[in-house]
Chain A
Amino acid sequence: MRAISSFPAAAFDTALKFAIIIASSLALSVSAAAQDALPGLTKYQQDFIDVPANLSLFGLTKEKLIDRLSGQEPETVRAAVTAMMETLEKRPYKPAAPIERDIAEPLEPAGDYAEIPMNTKAGRYNSSKTLRPAILDEFAREPGIFSVKRYLGETDGIPTFANAPVAVRLEDLVASSVDVAFVGVPLNLGSGWRDAQHAPGALRAMHGLSGYDVYAGLDPALELTLADYGDISVDRLSIDMSVGHVRETVAAMVSAGVVPFIIGGDHSVMYPAVAAMTDTLGSDDITIVHLDAHPNALRGLAHPLVDQNAVSALIEDNLMKGSNLVQLGLRGRDLSDDVLSWLRSQDVRYHTMAEVEERGWDRVMKAALSEAKAGPGRVFISFDMSVLDPAEGPGAGRPEAAGLTMREVLPFLRRLCAETQVAGFGIFDVTPYLDLSYQTPLNANSVLHACLSGIALRKKGLTKDAYLSDLTRRD
């Protein structure tokens, strides 16, 4: 009452008029929607506006379009729809001969690129991924992992993942019978903020990946043989030029009996990582557990592989079965009815944050664990930093509000890694520069440590459901 009484009369008058305008425009849109057609459109044009996907790119629905154009001259209506149709017709690839010029301009073709030309004359075309054979080492050493620390218990110095010894070549992993080898893949072509190339460095320089795990009651570094296998060389300007070498390198690690812990890199690295699992274990024998705000299942993109289509590309290339994929934590911008329907059609076991809200995390976690256990065998985990709430993982390339917490994620990963046989783990889209604090690298390392502890539990035969160390409980 107070508010209204102090309202100037003129303003009140305006507000009233405004309310009337809103009411009448609502009435208008209702009647227009009921009308379901626009005057003057051809049958072809009418069919065009009947397809929701044609209109959504313009931010429109059929109702909104009719609302906007009703009352206009038929020519105006036709012109608008024609313009939309012409716009969409320009989207597909249009081949054309390159321009004939006196001077070659490979970057200015008259039509669309079907492929992006490379400079094959470059003298060092492959040098970044050409391996240096041991025989070319200036000083020979026997194969095997070796420490880069000078002191017992040295934690800083030359930084390595989990302060683990270093393996330079595959022979080193084999000679030392390494259980888990960390390897960086600094590919930095994510669709959000870019800085994933600095994740391997930041995680090596941060603690949290070594020492005792209070839930499991063990130090995974003592139970397992760990190694830092350095980074896999990537072409920083092209995912496509990078995937082959990443896939070969990871597959060689798996073939050598190692569980690779892959530190990305953006989430496109999931593709060569899972492909390597399939190459070595077969797509029938691998379950993928994918924690991410984003399903990464866009289709119809000009680039065959980016972070946003890693999942759909793996399924469409027959490298992963939809029915063997469990997704957790989905929310945010890449989702749409179209994407969710497609995931459903592929038999993907997806769990959105809406499901977590409805059922509670415990039940969703148990559902995901039982799906992973019921799967065909070994498990690969693809962990995107964005699955965490930005409060706990601000350094994520594509952060989304309202995600999982560390206290939800850690028990799940420890259990998953203890109660199933893990074949590999990938953590992607950690972007250190977005976080001025230590928080993101520490939490990323803790995520890896939780799974590492689970793997150590399994090695000790402690695989019963939800195992906790006796010393941590008061029975």
Chain B
Amino acid sequence: MMYVKSLAALFFSLSCAAASLAQAQQTEPAPSQDKADGEDAELKLPRFLLKDDTQKADEEKKDKPNPLKDLEYTPSKDGEVPVHIDAATPGMMERPPLELPEDVAARITFLPEDTISYLKSGKTNAIVRPDKMFKKILAAQSDEQIIAYIKAIMSVDDQMTYKEGRDKASIALDTQAANFNTWRSLRPAELDPAREAGPIALSRYMGGRGGGIPTFAGAPLAKTPEDLIAGEVEVAIVGAPLDMGSGWRDARHGPLAMRVMGRGLGGTDVATMINPGEALNIVDYGDIAIDQMSTERSMKEVRRVVGEIAKTGAVPFIIGGDHSLEYPNVAAMADVYGKGKVGVIHFDAHLDTGRGRPHLMSHGQPIYRLMREAHVRPEDYIQVGLRAHYSKQYYEWQRLIGMRYHTMAEVERRGWDAVLDRVLMEASENTEYLYISFDVDVLDPAFEPGTGTPVSGGLDMREAITIVRRLCAESNVIGFDLVELAPEIDPTYRSTLNANSLVFACLTGMAMRKQGIEDPHFISDLSSDHSRNDFYEEKNRKSDRQTTEDKQGDKK
């Protein structure tokens, strides 16, 4: 039976039915409505504590589908699609069938067979809660009202999903446009005076506070892979100002703000007495071209440039930009080091395993795509600091496919030190190489108000600096990104200073590793103890805490 003959007819019937339903409600209020509202009734409990309502909620929970309940964890192999990766995609799962109560079934016997089987299919769950639908059907005063009501549900169902011919399946670009690729056209080197390959110092002076042109960490500029090779560069910091986040936007200005800030990214680290700027060969690699109207279109150029840096042996530090950058960044790592060879630590308030959405890429979906394309195994994905309001099913699915997640709930239950140790252990457990993706919203908004999708109850800077420094010192970091800094949200310097300080923490760790400091959680004895007395009573227990520093001293 074809219900929808024409849209106009449909709307006409809908509005008639709406009017008569309104009448029905006025004359005959549903019996359950005034259950607890009797005029003289003494209120004993607020409604949400009434027992029968709680039971109702329990029943609803039973109705919720759990497509994962019969599935078991299956280890993933390098370069292969994880077995259960698409087992529970939000919005794309089969709805469980709907059982019609006897009175409802009896009321709708006049409906055609295919309509009844539509109701039983459970598809209506996406549109209206079953108990409310049943109530409406039972309250209807005529068969026509029920028909109009169900027609409306079916019409909405039809409109919500993609339909070939009716809906756009893609976003068309103007292929005739003269400027189709202008945004990523490289400036010919011939237009500048000839120079030898190698990093270019932008400062006029021997010392002082730099030469005025702002660069990351005051580092010299490199423009090409040849510059990186000639300069034997170890770390290339590059901006990727993609600004398509779903909250407040301004991630585009993250790289600029961090360059101009200057503060936080230079000098000697107090915990280790190491100056990473002296220990490492660092450059500013400029920015990567971005199409600000399309995340999808920007991915390829980011992946190309990040790969270009990594191939020279330098470690790319990508400054975002929003978190969709994690996809091209890590994919580039897999391009260079091999699929399944790289583990990732994902610092974030958000899971970023979104999937099944109309857009194939956004800042909520990079991890799914990296695992789906087999760049990284779920077992090698370690998330830290999670606390945004994701549904239970996200965690069920993440556990099923073997991801390592560490929420703020785990921190509340075990304490930060225990979680820190667990993360450090996992970071080097499976893979030789580690990539760190640091979304600044993992920090508490007190420390990082300048971010697009802040979430309360996050890490503080003393926790974050330590874990980042230790990860970079105690594992083989091959790449690092810092994303989602949105400086305009924070009228103070704070968010940008903290972002610089986190980059500095990783650089410190890398410098420690380069210098052969191997002790877990190395802290300089010089900077952590003035040694005029023995307040900590450690003199007789020196072997407990003999540091590399001491060992080096002993050798001398």
Interface residues on B, range: 35 or more
Q: B300: which of A104, A107, A236 is its contact (CB, 8 Å)?
A: A107
> Which residues on A sit within 8 Å (CB–CB) of B390?
none
Q: Pick out which of these stretches binds chain A: B159-167, B522-530, B532-540.
A: B159-167
A92 on the B face (CB < 8 A)? yes
> Which residues on B sit within 8 Å (CB–CB) of A304?
172-174
How far apart sit A303 and B297, CA to CA, in the bound complex (Å)?
A: 11
How far apart sit A76 and B53, CA to CA, in the bound complex (Å)?
A: 84
B489 on the A face (CB < 8 A)? yes
> Which residues on B sit within 8 Å (CB–CB) of A124?
91, 126, 160-161, 358
Known interface pairs A125-B358, A126-B161; A240-B250 also in contact (CB < 8 Å): no
Do the beta carbons of A113 and B297 come within 8 Å of each other?
yes
Do the beta carbons of A133 and B14 come within 8 Å of each other?
yes
> Which residues on B sit within 8 Å (CB–CB) of A133?
14, 18, 152, 155-156
B188 on the A face (CB < 8 A)? yes
B81 on the A face (CB < 8 A)? yes
Q: B299: which of A80, A108, A122 is its contact (CB, 8 Å)?
A: A108
- Mark interface residues in A113-135 (1 if CB within 8 Å of B CB, else 0): 11111111111111100111111
- Mark interface residues in B235-251 (1 if CB within 8 Å of A CB, else 0): 00000000110101110
> Which residues on A sit within 8 Å (CB–CB) of B299?
107-108
> Which residues on B sit within 8 Å (CB–CB) of A108?
299-300, 303, 331
Do the beta carbons of B360 and A117 come within 8 Å of each other?
yes
A171 on the B face (CB < 8 A)? yes
A105 on the B face (CB < 8 A)? yes
Do the beta carbons of B356 and A122 come within 8 Å of each other?
yes
Do the beta carbons of B91 and A195 come within 8 Å of each other?
no
A57 on the B face (CB < 8 A)? yes
Do the beta carbons of A106 and B159 come within 8 Å of each other?
no
Question: A86, A137, A433 — which one has the most chain B CB atoms within 10 A of its CB?
Answer: A433
**CB closest residue in chain A, given B16:** A135
DSSP class of A's interface residues: helix, strand, loop or mixed?
Answer: loop
A10 on the B face (CB < 8 A)? no
Do the beta carbons of A132 and B187 come within 8 Å of each other?
no
B413 on the A face (CB < 8 A)? no
B96 shortest CB reach to chain A, Å: 15
**CB closest residue in chain B, given A115:** B170
**CB closest residue in chain A, given B92:** A123
A241 shortest CB reach to chain B, Å: 6
**CB closest residue in chain B, given A129:** B159
B41 on the A face (CB < 8 A)? no
- Mark interface residues in B242-264 (1 if CB within 8 Å of A CB, else 0): 01101011101100000000000
Do the beta carbons of A239 and B159 come within 8 Å of each other?
no
**CB closest residue in chain B, given A65:** B191
> Which residues on B sit within 8 Å (CB–CB) of A90?
181, 185
Do the beta carbons of A434 and B359 come within 8 Å of each other?
no
Q: Pick out which of these stretches binds chain B: A138-146, A323-331, A366-374.
A: A138-146
B37 shortest CB reach to chain A, Å: 15
Q: Pick out which of these stretches binds chain A: B65-73, B287-295, B313-321, B416-424.
A: B287-295
A301 on the B face (CB < 8 A)? yes
**CB closest residue in chain A, given B293:** A303
B353 shortest CB reach to chain A, Å: 15
> Which residues on A sit within 8 Å (CB–CB) of B253?
193
> Which residues on A sit within 8 Å (CB–CB) of B489?
433
> Which residues on B sit within 8 Å (CB–CB) of A236?
246
B327 on the A face (CB < 8 A)? yes
> Which residues on B sit within 8 Å (CB–CB) of A136?
127-128, 149, 152-153, 156
Do the beta carbons of B177 and A302 come within 8 Å of each other?
yes
Do the beta carbons of A303 and B300 come within 8 Å of each other?
no
> Which residues on B sit within 8 Å (CB–CB) of A60?
191
B180 on the A face (CB < 8 A)? yes
Q: B170: which of A91, A118, A306 is its contact (CB, 8 Å)?
A: A118
**CB closest residue in chain A, given B246:** A236
A468 on the B face (CB < 8 A)? no
- Mark interface residues in B508-546 (1 if CB within 8 Å of A CB, else 0): 000000000000000000000000000000000000000
B279 shortest CB reach to chain A, Å: 36
Q: A103: which of B153, B173, B291, B373 is its contact (CB, 8 Å)?
A: B373
- Mark interface residues in A51-69 (1 if CB within 8 Å of B CB, else 0): 0000001101000000010
> Which residues on A sit within 8 Å (CB–CB) of B132?
138
> Which residues on B sit within 8 Å (CB–CB) of A113?
173, 296-297
How far apart sit A87 and B331, CA to CA, in the bound complex (Å)?
A: 27
Do the beta carbons of A57 and B182 come within 8 Å of each other?
yes
B159 shortest CB reach to chain A, Å: 5
Do the beta carbons of A119 and B356 come within 8 Å of each other?
yes
A189 on the B face (CB < 8 A)? yes
**CB closest residue in chain B, given A126:** B160
A189 shortest CB reach to chain B, Å: 6
> Which residues on A sit within 8 Å (CB–CB) of B180?
91-93, 112, 302
Do the beta carbons of A126 and B162 come within 8 Å of each other?
yes
| 14 more CB-based (< 8 A) A-B contacts, given A117-B360, A121-B162, A121-B356 | A68-B191, A80-B188, A91-B180, A93-B181, A115-B170, A120-B169, A122-B92, A130-B156, A133-B155, A240-B168, A301-B177, A302-B174, A304-B173, A433-B250
Closest 8 CB pairs of A and B: A123-B91, A83-B188, A140-B22, A194-B249, A80-B190, A115-B170, A300-B178, A93-B175
A sample of 19 inter-chain contacts (CB < 8 A) reads A80-B188, A90-B181, A91-B180, A95-B175, A108-B331, A112-B180, A118-B168, A118-B170, A126-B167, A133-B152, A135-B14, A135-B18, A140-B18, A141-B22, A194-B250, A236-B246, A237-B362, A238-B171, A433-B250
Interface residues of B (CB under 8 A from A): 14-15, 17-18, 21-22, 25, 81, 90-93, 126-128, 132, 148-149, 152-153, 155-156, 159-162, 164, 167-183, 185-191, 243-244, 246, 248-250, 252-253, 291-297, 299-300, 303, 327, 331, 356-362, 369, 372-374, 488-489, 491
Interface residues of A (CB under 8 A from B): 57-58, 60, 68, 76, 79-80, 83-84, 86-88, 90-95, 103-109, 112-127, 130-142, 171, 188-189, 191, 193-195, 197-198, 235-241, 300-304, 306, 433-434, 436
